[in-house]
């Protein structure tokens, strides 16, 4: 299993959405990261932002780079998060933020291009 449990998808516009998810403890990404205190790797959070950005927004292009990536709090098994995505076509930028209630867990921008 390599994706979170999707609880709800809220479409704000063609280029903006919020995905409510539950982070199941069975996810393969927790294995070995870290023994005794499993946390969701940051690279997985980036992967899901790209995956869902392409699925639920018109984001296109190949990965070029990242900007302002911030991991502010650890994501643990059984947590619920909301992934907010915003595709800015004119800049070819996919902005993302993982949060729950008022707490932000990570955020950043992914630059795409080559299309």
Express each pLDDT in 63-89 by its tens digit.
999 999 999 999 999 999 999 999 999
**Domain count for the chain:** 1
- Report the alpha-carbon distance of residue 40 to residue 7 in Å, rounded: 18
- Report the alpha-carbon distance of residue 38 to residue 18 in Å, rounded: 25
CATH of the domain at 38: 3.10.129.10
Q: Name the pTM for this structure.
A: 0.94
Domain coverage including residue 14: 5-113
* Cα–Cα distance list, 102 to 11, 18, 45, 47, 98 (Å): 20, 15, 19, 23, 11
pLDDT number for residue 77: 95
Alpha-carbon Rg for the chain, nearest whole angstrom, is 14
């Amino acid at each position: 299993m390599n994706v979170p449990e999707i609880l709800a998808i809220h479409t704000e516009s063609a280029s903006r959405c919020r995905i409510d998810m539950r982070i199941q403890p069975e996810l393969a990404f927790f294995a070995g990261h870290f023994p005794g205190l499993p946390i969701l790797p940051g690279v997985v959070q980036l992967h899901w932002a790209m995956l869902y950005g392409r699925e639920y927004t018109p984001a296109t292009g190949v990965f070029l780079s990242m900007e302002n990536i911030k991991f502010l709090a650890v994501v643990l098994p059984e947590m619920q998060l909301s992934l907010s995505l915003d595709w800015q076509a004119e800049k070819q930028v996919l902005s993302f933020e993982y949060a729950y209630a008022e707490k932000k867990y990570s955020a950043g921008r992914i630059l795409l291009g080559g299309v």
